[in-house]
Structure formats: C-alpha cells, structure tokens
A and B are shown apart, each in its own frame.
Chain A
Amino acid sequence: MSSDNALARLLERQSIVLTAGAGGVGKTSCAAALAIFAAVEYGREVLVVTIDPALRLADALGLSGIGNEPHEVDLGEFANPKGRLFASMVDMKASWDEMIHRCAPNGAAAQRIMSNPVYQGISSRFVQSHDYIAVEVLYELYIQKRFDLIVVDTPPSRHAIDFLDSPKKMEEFFSSRLLRWLTLSRRGRLFSGVFKPFYQIADRILGSAFLGDLSEFFIEFQAMHDGFVQRANAVTEILSSQDSSFVVVASAEQVAIEEALYFMAELYARDLSLGAVVLNRSLPQWLLDFGPNSLVNEMGEKAPELARIMAKQVKSLNSPSDVGETETFVASLSIIERVLREMANCYSTLATMKEREEDLRSRLGVDPELVMSAPHMQEEITSLSTLHELGAMLCRS
C-alpha cells in the first residue's frame, strides 16, 4: 500500500508502541485502533494493554473484567483478518502482588510484605504507583515474546512523563540514604546523630506506630532490592531500544498541545523514539480548502433575496403531484432567512476554529509527515469496526 504513512510503518515493523498524551484526548481509543489495524491489516500478533479503558471501549474489546492475562479478541467480523489480536487490562493490585512474589526471597517474606498496612496502601490507593506497575507489566509481557507487537496505553498521570521516570525513581528509592536510615533499628536511628532531629519530628508528626510499620515494610522490601533494580534497568533499556516507539496523542486544543510539546521534548532529552503524533478530534480540512467564502460576509444583505429564491425553487422542483405535500417550505421567509444567517455563522465559526487548529499544529514543530489527523468521530467508539475505521484514518491519511 503505497499511501501508507509513518504510523502504518510503525505498526508493520515495531515491537512496542506506547501511546502517550494528556488526559481526555482519546489516547486509549487510539491505542486500541492502532492495535486492531495492525492485526487485521498487517498480519501481526498484537497485544493491546490498557490501563483504565472507558466502559464501552472495554466492551468493544471484550474486556469484561480486569485481568493481566491477555485474552484473544474475536476478529470474526472482519472479512479477512491477517493476524490476531489480544487484549488485557492491567490489574494494579494483582500486578503488585505478582511482583512481590517474583522478587521476594521466599514465600514467608512475601506474605509479611503483603500484610503490612503500608503495602496495602501503596498497592491499592497510591496513584503514582500505577506508573511503575504499568512498566512492570510491559516488561513481563515483552520478555515472554508471545507477541509481535505490544501496544501500550500509558496510564493517565499528572505528566505522561512520570511513566518514563518510574523505573529510575524506583531505583533511586532503593539506593537512597534515607531508606538505609529507616531500616536501621529504632535504637540505631535515635543515636545516628544526623538523623536524630528528623526522627523526632517524624515521630511527632506521624506517630511512632506508623513509623514502625513503615520501617518494617522497608526492611522486608529491601530484600527485593536486586530484583527490583535489575528489572527497572531492563525496562529502561527496552523503552530506549530500537524496538520501542512513542505515539503522542493530542487534541487540537492549547492545553493538550502544550502537554504534547512537553512530552516530545522529554522524549528527545532521553533519546527515546517519537514514532508519530496524532492530532485527534480535528476538524475537516475542507473548512480551509474552500477558502474565504464571500457568501458568509454577504449573507446579511443577501439572505432575504436568497430566501425568496429558495421558496420558489422548492416549488419548481416538486412535480405537480407532490404539490400540497410537505415537500414545500412550511416556514415563513423570515425563518428561512434566519436559518441562512445561522448557516453563515456556522461556517465562519468552524473555519476560525480550524485556523486556530492549524496554528496549534504548526506549533508542534515536527516533520509534518509524522503528524496524523483523526476527525471528530460522529459516533463514539462502540465496536471493533469503528476502531478499525479510526485506525484506517490514522494510517492512511
């Protein structure tokens, strides 16, 4: 297919594609659309990993409940699917538990960690931990080599970049001086001069029972240090390898574009590969192609004349037998005029919006070849075929 673009080439060749962007720009739909398209059109074994899909999207993918185990999506509705599609939805709590089991020195230690109140807080409530676990899940799937292509929908977070930093943060966390201090015995802590004031303050603010839970937790946790750090490094390596590309998704709005710009700068700084930028919910190009519409400005004066012509025109179009049926204008000339004026407003408003959109697009400052547009979908995405349609628009624009 000669018309295939940069995004299509990614789907044909790449091993990991990660979608990233501000919340609410349609990131998850894009991830799903790209995955389906790669499976149906490029004959690949594809897995799409979602974090928190909207209910109807989850339904479309046949994801009835969360579960880390990939399950196959039935592509029977497509005439000739060339590959296969699998989907999974990350279960945070289960992923943390799995990871503890993998990294803990023995079963008893794993049990102790999992029953600590601090751990329960981290794995279920603490939002930022999602970033790390998403990376973990990706690593686990990647080393299994079960799929040609893994499409990952990155978790919504304050800055999409948190996701990239999470392995490094996890490593810093383990090697920090403070962790070493916290895991000293209480006595040791009290007498370690440097930390004495901190301990006293922490004790007063947080209470010693909590500090007790906390240091117990970290003592156990530290036994997993090597496993953790090793995995964190491996993940960072995969993300920066030739096998991974990022697709930045933005909508044609200032905030979303700024977030995208920020993310692209961070990708660049980390030497990570930007595969494509998707400008979602963009208005159609014809709003600009038609150029300035003189009728828009003249509608004020021309509306009455136009309304009269229209009223007549309708009559002349009707065959005599139709006369008297609803095919004639039922409205008075003034209503027709009002509608005509409203139409002119509509055109000029949309054209202005499209111009603003183009301004924002030019601010992206990347090779135009890498920027794909997806339209406002009239229907929300509720089926595999609409997702495939979105994929086609993205890959063949």
Chain B
Amino acid sequence: MIANKTRLDEVLSKNLLFVTGKGGVGKTTVAAAIALLAAESGRRTLVCEVEPKGDLGKLFGLGNAGFVAEQVRPNLSVMAMNTEEALREYLKIHLKFPVVSRLGPLAKMFDFVANAAPGVREILVVGKLCYEVRESRYDLVVVDSSASGHVVSQLSSPSGVGELLNVGMVREQTRWMLEILSDPARCGIALVSTAQETPIQEALDLAERISTETVVKLCLAIANKIMPTLFTEMEEQVFSQIDQMLSSVTLSKKNKENKLDGFFGLEDLVQATRLWQNIALGNEKQAQRLRQRSTGVAPYIQIPLVSAFSSGFGLIREVAETIEVELG
C-alpha cells in the first residue's frame, strides 16, 4: 500500500475547516460537498452554517438546521450557529449556571455587551466550533463561514479578545482555541470565489488578511461556477472559420442558392457559442489570478457551473464529485 496522502486526504484529515469567500460565490454548497466527502470516507463530520439563512439545511432536505446538530446522512450532521444558544451552552459548561429560565434578560445583556465589545460574539462562535473539535465528538467540523470581512474578525477574535480582556474566563479560554486554530494539520481555510473581477479581488484581499491577521492557514483555493472554455486551439480556429463563413453566406444569400439553407438556425448556434466563449474567456482570466495567488500556498481547483442545472442534494453530489476528481 502506498502511504501517500492525496490532496483530498490532506483536506479531509483536518479537524476544523472554514469555508469562506464573498457572498453568493457558493460557500454553502462547497462546505456541504466537502462534508459529504469526509462523511463518506468514514470521518464523523459536522457541517455548521454560521450565518443561518437556512440554505444549508435546505440543501440536505431539512427544513431549517438548528443549534442542536441533526444527522442527515451516515456520519454527517448539520447544525446552524446561534449565539444565544452558544452562550447558554457556554454558561452551562463553564459556570454550571443553573438558572436557565433567567437567560432571557441575560441574553439581552449579552447581546448588548457583544455589540459593544468587538469580538465577544465572534469568540462564542469560534469557541463553540473549537469546543466540538476539542471534545472529539466529530473528526471534522466544516464551517460554512461568514462572508469575507466577518470571518477575519471571527478568526482573529481569540487574540483580539485576549488583548481587550485582560482577565476573565474568556481570556483563559482563548489559549486552547488558538492552539487548535494555529495548527495547520488540524485547521485550515478553504477560500471560494466565482471568476469575476470583484469576487476574485476580494478573495485575494481576504487571502492576504487571513495570512496577516489570523493564525489560520489557507489550505484550499476554489474557483467556483466556472463556464469552461470549450475548444482546443485547433477547434477554436475551426469555429471562427464557421463563424466567418456564415456571415459571408448570409451576405451572398441573395445571389445563389445556399446549401446551408437546410440547416436553419445555424447562425443562432454560432451566436450562442460566441457568447459562451466570451464569458468563458473572462472566467479563465480571473480564475488565473486566484490560481497564481495560491501557487505554493495551497491546492487550487475549479468547479464548473452546475448550480444552473441542479439543486438540493443532487447539487452537493455533483460538486463533491468534482472536488474528489480535482483533488484526487
């Protein structure tokens, strides 16, 4: 047996994986797909939606995922983050705080303090995720993280809160969280972007901030929803000749009978192909920037635009298959 780990194993063998990127790039789907691959490779996996819009639950055919993890497939559970519930759990575990019924006003106060003290809300989120890892209830926790800016505040919260809170229990606990977060064998970030200029630029900026402001390392870069270019160089030449030919045929139509008349609609196909190629070339140019940024840092893969045709579990399955092939 060859002991070589594939690049996929490398990702799936972590304990905590944050999937992040600009809104709308497909973070949720990618997180679900990676979680599915992990679960099917035998790892006990939890996938958590940090900003619960309900998209993750829907993908797995659940109504809405809740704070209590729910098993959706063998080895695979789904949960949605909820800071109030996270606080409740935190108090229960660390303070043996019994008066659960009194949490109403306490939660309100917490909300208030969390709004005022940057990092407190974030640290509860990251704390809950790290806690699941530390307690080894799951082998891998995949996090469908917050959009770009937020994730940096979340991941830098253990150190940030440490600075702000000199004493206190939260301060104590940032230490073990940082231990998990800063170990590249256990924790990593998968950065997802679509191949348009703005999302790519934001992804590159985010990669920079992740490396300078957080202790977590980038472990995967994904260009998502790619419309791939269709032709080899030779085929491209043939296509442009067909294109030229059809325009000259149209011009000479008046004069002589046209043998292509029987193929009504050919011009439409040309026009559609030209449109596709234009978008695809734009995609390629932008995806290239992400590839360059990740060279030497983390594996880079592309996922084609499948979301236009599938949804729900079928979509997760297709994306998972692509990831498996690309990282195999």
Q: A204-B168, A346-B230 are in contact. Are A121 and B24 (CB under 8 A)?
A: no
Decide if the interface of chain A is mainly helix, strand, loop or mixed: helix
CB pair B24–A214 under 8 Å, yes or no, is no
Q: A207-B166, A309-B260 are in contact. Are A296 and B146 (CB under 8 A)?
A: no
CB pair B198–A346 under 8 Å, yes or no, is no
Question: How many Å lie between the Cα of A347 and that of B112 in the bound state?
Answer: 55
Chain A residues closer than 8 Å to B149, beta-carbon distance: 127, 156
CB pair B275–A343 under 8 Å, yes or no, is no
Q: A201-B97, A295-B269, A339-B238 are in contact. Are A210 and B164 (CB under 8 A)?
A: yes
CB pair B263–A302 under 8 Å, yes or no, is yes
CB pair A210–B168 under 8 Å, yes or no, is yes
Expressed in whole angstroms, the minimum distance between the Cβ of A158 and any Cβ of chain B is 5
CB pair A290–B268 under 8 Å, yes or no, is yes
CB pair B170–A350 under 8 Å, yes or no, is no
Q: A23-B22, A24-B22, A210-B168 are in contact. Are A376 and B279 (CB under 8 A)?
A: yes
Chain A residues closer than 8 Å to B112, beta-carbon distance: 173, 176, 178-179
Chain B residues closer than 8 Å to A295, beta-carbon distance: 263-266, 268-269
Chain B residues closer than 8 Å to A23, beta-carbon distance: 22-24, 147-148
CB pair A158–B146 under 8 Å, yes or no, is yes
Residue of B nearest to A117 (CB): B164
Partner of A342, one of B160, B234, B235, B279: B235
CB pair A339–B245 under 8 Å, yes or no, is no
Partner of B25, one of A24, A178, A214, A343: A24
Q: For chain B residues 212-265, which have a beta carbon within 8 Å of chain A?
A: 230-231, 234-235, 237-239, 241-242, 245, 248-249, 259-260, 263-265
Check: B105 CB closer than 8 A to any chain A CB.
yes
Q: For chain B residues 24-47, which have a beta carbon within 8 Å of chain A?
A: 24-25
Chain A residues closer than 8 Å to B105, beta-carbon distance: 198
Check: A233 CB closer than 8 A to any chain B CB.
no
CB pair B109–A198 under 8 Å, yes or no, is yes
Bits for B147-171, please: 1 = Cβ < 8 Å to A, else 0. 1111001000000100011111111
Question: How many Å lie between the Cα of A343 and that of B263 in the bound state?
Answer: 13
Question: How many Å lie between the Cα of A173 and that of B114 in the bound state?
Answer: 12
Question: How many Å lie between the Cα of A340 and that of B199 in the bound state?
Answer: 33
Give the one of A54, A56, A173, A179 with max B CB within 10 A.
A54
Partner of A352, one of B95, B169, B273, B308: B308
Bits for A355-397, please: 1 = Cβ < 8 Å to B, else 0. 0100000000000000000001010100000000000000000
CB pair A122–B118 under 8 Å, yes or no, is yes
Bits for B69-87, please: 1 = Cβ < 8 Å to A, else 0. 0000000000000000000
Residue of B nearest to A353 (CB): B308
Question: How many Å lie between the Cα of A176 and that of B279 in the bound state?
Answer: 52
Expressed in whole angstroms, the minimum distance between the Cβ of B249 and any Cβ of chain A is 7
Expressed in whole angstroms, the minimum distance between the Cβ of B24 and any Cβ of chain A is 4
Q: A24-B22, A179-B112, A313-B260 are in contact. Are A335 and B238 (CB under 8 A)?
A: yes
Expressed in whole angstroms, the minimum distance between the Cβ of B257 and any Cβ of chain A is 12
Expressed in whole angstroms, the minimum distance between the Cβ of A287 and any Cβ of chain B is 7
Chain B residues closer than 8 Å to A206, beta-carbon distance: 113, 117, 120, 165, 168, 170
Enumerate chain A interface residues (CB-CB to B < 8 A). Answer: 22-26, 28, 54-57, 117-118, 121-122, 125-128, 156, 158, 173, 176, 178-179, 197-198, 201-210, 214, 217-218, 251, 253-256, 283-284, 286-287, 290, 293-296, 302, 306, 309-310, 312-314, 317, 327, 329-331, 335-336, 338-340, 342-344, 346-347, 349-353, 356, 376, 378, 380
Cβ contacts A to B, 30 pairs, < 8 Å: A22-B23, A22-B24, A23-B22, A24-B24, A28-B198, A54-B197, A54-B202, A173-B115, A178-B109, A202-B113, A207-B169, A207-B171, A253-B307, A286-B268, A290-B265, A294-B265, A295-B268, A313-B260, A314-B241, A329-B241, A340-B242, A340-B269, A343-B239, A343-B242, A343-B270, A343-B272, A347-B268, A347-B273, A376-B279, A380-B198
Known: A254-B311, A336-B242. 17 other contacts (CB 8 A): A55-B201, A121-B117, A126-B118, A158-B150, A197-B102, A206-B113, A206-B170, A214-B116, A214-B117, A255-B55, A290-B268, A293-B265, A293-B269, A295-B268, A313-B245, A342-B231, A380-B197
